[in-house]
Amino acid sequence: MNIYEIHDIAPLIRDNAYVGRGIVIGKTEDGKKAVSAYFIMGRSANSRNRIFTEKDGAVFTEPFDASKVEDPSLIIYAAVRQVENRLIVTNGDQTDTVAEGIKAGKTFSGALESRCFEPDAPNFTPRISGMLTFADGDFTYEMSILKSIDAEGGDCARYTFAYPAKAGLGHFIHTYVCDGNPIPTFQGEPERVSVPDSIDAFTNDLWGALNEDNKISLWVRYTDLSTGEYETRLINKYN
């Protein structure tokens, strides 16, 4: 087993019905751009009734049909926010927790100390988060997963991973291993994935590999490290 192998992302998720929500962060092969991506999947009608919208650089989950919303508490949130030189990407309202923490002088992991996994027994969906910190024409990034330490939701296990940005390398973390009842939680370190120079190639590979029945929305951003300008791709299945 080669622990330093870098995988194409599509084969990691193709033929897997449910990896849940996922975050990818990395740097393009040419070393010129920072890459961040977030996707959501859903099995229930309530979870599937969502779209991504982008407003002033922030990304939000919103109902596709507001009349069909059953419980907005865990499915409607700001998924992406920019705070100073940081870009925050998460799978829940902890986006705002991290943003407020950074403004108050806390670290990424310190800001997340007040949060734990989602209260959706028996799955206890992990909270996954990522943050890119831009400085001096480059960036570093951190990723976090907060998950139940046992099948009963007895306490929270906290894992934080910190990375220097390396050309062609990204890291991929997602909420679940695969479908199930309860759904098995993601295990181990974020997966090492390749990051192409083309935003369209990456977006198409990722969206095309996600399960057709369960995929909902995908957001991808490529940020030019020399100028700070960025390109975005946003796909909504139900829009």
Asked if residue 52 lies in contact with residue 234, where contact means CB atoms within 8 angstroms, the answer is yes
Q: Is 30 exposed, middle or buried (0-12, 13-18, 19+ CB in 10 A)?
A: exposed
User: What is the identity of the amino acid at 203?
Assistant: T
| Fold classified for 9-236 | Glutamine Phosphoribosylpyrophosphate, subunit 1, domain 1 (3.60.20)
| pLDDT at position 76 over 90 | no
CB atoms within 10 A of CB 54: 14
User: What tokens appear for 118 in the block?
Assistant: 């989602």
Residue 71 has what pLDDT? 79
Q: Which of 4-13, 40-49, 87-96 has the lowest mean pLDDT?
A: 40-49
Q: Taking residues 184-197, report their average pLDDT.
A: 97
Among 76, 73, 45, 23, residue whose Cα is nearest residue 219:
23
Residue 122 has what pLDDT? 96
Residue 130 has what pLDDT? 98
SS3 content of the chain, % helix, strand, coil (to 5): 15, 40, 40
Q: Name the residue ranges covered by the structural domains of the chain.
A: 9-236
Strands 22-27 and 169-174: antiparallel
Higher pLDDT, 239 or 175: 175
Higher pLDDT, 239 or 82: 82
Say which residue the tokens 């181990």 belong to: 188
Residue 1 has what pLDDT? 76
Sheet containing 50-55: order of strands: 50-55, 58-63, 78-83, 86-90, 127-135, 138-148, 156-164
Apex 23 CA angle, 19 and 29, nearest 5: 115
Residues 113-160 have pLDDT tens digits of: 999 999 999 999 999 999 999 999 999 999 999 999 999 999 999 999
Asked if residue 14 lies in contact with residue 209, where contact means CB atoms within 8 angstroms, the answer is yes
